[in-house]
A = this chain, B = another copy of it.
Amino acid sequence: MTTLERAIQNIKGIDAKSMEEAGIRQNTLTKPMGSLGRLEELSIRLAGIMRTPHPAINDRVIITMAGDHGVVEEGVTLYPQDVTAQMVDNFLRGGAAVNVLADHVGARVIVVDMGVAGNFEANSSSPVGTELVIKKVGRGTRNMVLGPAMSREEAFRSLEAGIEVVDDQVSKGMDILGIGDMGIGNTTASSAIASVFTGLKPMEVTGRGTGLDDGKLSHKISIIDKALNINKPDPHDAVDVLSKVGGFEIGGMAGAVIAAAAHRIPVVLDGFISGAAALIAVGIEPEVRNYLIASHQSVETGHIHVLNYLKLKPLLNLNMRLGEGTGAALGISLAQAAASVLNKMATFSQAGVSEA
């Protein structure tokens, strides 16, 4: 059995009994019934995922997967490809937004080189404790306008690399996973993936990425159209979609999601790229969906369609579109808040407060 098959086999449905007990407990806590709204719902979902009516969230981890994209040679991005590697260095030095927001919410950051065009040394020292993991499947994908972005074997390797990274973090104590991305060109790949699964046209799920103007946006859409026509990814075969129009970091994130579900660990999605990875993961194993928490709704055009397809309602709508795991960091904090309410509030009888 492969690493992927074993992970899939370990994924169970979320636990109805723990959810019911958590729901009953919420109604005994010193507050009007239901008055914490989505925090209460989230706490109950966490109980189901973690299979306990007292889901405890201590060790918070953000895994940021980085990879490069051959399609950038078509001129679909505002920033040069070098920025992917430069930003990995920035993550290691603690200067990026995900570092600041992870620190704010008390999360560790793990950066994974899934397929950056440049090279990094394993175990590069990071003054801020960011861990670098090298799982390089290739030095960037191939240009998906000319054929598949990667081979089917590379797609499996990227998924399994994501599983290995999560397995390792679980052994280190991870209670909740936020996933994020870095990869110049990856909104192009994600829009292609979103189009395949949702059935919407590329123009409906393609946005400005880091800030394209109207002319470059319509060029980007035409490139995605071309890639889909040439590759004809099969929406019923998520690995086919990943290999033809995906990316190494997207495969890594999809594998991470699958592994987290196998370990009963809640996964907080970030924005559009992590949403595309979730489409791949749910395409491989639909039960994964119940382990997902949508942190925020990105400004990037396709994201709302991805969330609707996944039947996820974002917790935040702050007009963000950065990626890296920045939205996931904020979502992790809300998840921890939800669990704390469930676990730490006094009941009416404990507090001697009269009921309605």
- Are the C-beta atoms of A352 and B86 separated by less than 8 Å? yes
Contacts of A1 in B (CB 8 A): none
Give the segment of A64-72, A74-82, A151-159, A224-232 that binds chain B.
Answer: A74-82
Known contacts A37-B320, A337-B330: A89-B31 contact under CB 8 Å: no
Closest residue on chain B to residue A34 by CB atoms: B211
- Are the C-beta atoms of A32 and B321 separated by less than 8 Å? yes
- Are the C-beta atoms of A356 and B211 separated by less than 8 Å? yes
In the complex, what distance in Å separates the CA atom of A345 from the CA atom of B316?
A: 22
User: Nearest-CB distance from A98 to chain B (Å)?
Assistant: 10
Annotate A20-36 by CB proximity to B: 1 below 8 A, 0 otherwise: 00000000011111111
- Confirm or deny: A354 has a beta carbon within 8 angstroms of a beta carbon on chain B: yes
- Are the C-beta atoms of A353 and B39 separated by less than 8 Å? no
- Are the C-beta atoms of A30 and B336 separated by less than 8 Å? no
In the complex, what distance in Å separates the CA atom of A230 from the CA atom of B292?
A: 54
Which A residues between 319 and 334 are near B, CB-CB below 8 angstroms? Answer: 319-322, 326, 330, 333-334
On chain A, which size bracket covers the interface? 35 or more
Contacts of A333 in B (CB 8 A): 104, 333
- Confirm or deny: A124 has a beta carbon within 8 angstroms of a beta carbon on chain B: no
Known contacts A100-B344, A330-B334, A340-B103: A93-B351 contact under CB 8 Å: yes
User: Nearest-CB distance from A318 to chain B (Å)?
Assistant: 4
Known contacts A37-B299, A104-B337, A330-B337: A30-B90 contact under CB 8 Å: yes
Contacts of A320 in B (CB 8 A): 35-39
Q: Top 8 A-B pairs ranked by shortest CB distance? A: A95-B346, A37-B319, A32-B210, A35-B322, A38-B318, A86-B353, A78-B356, A90-B351
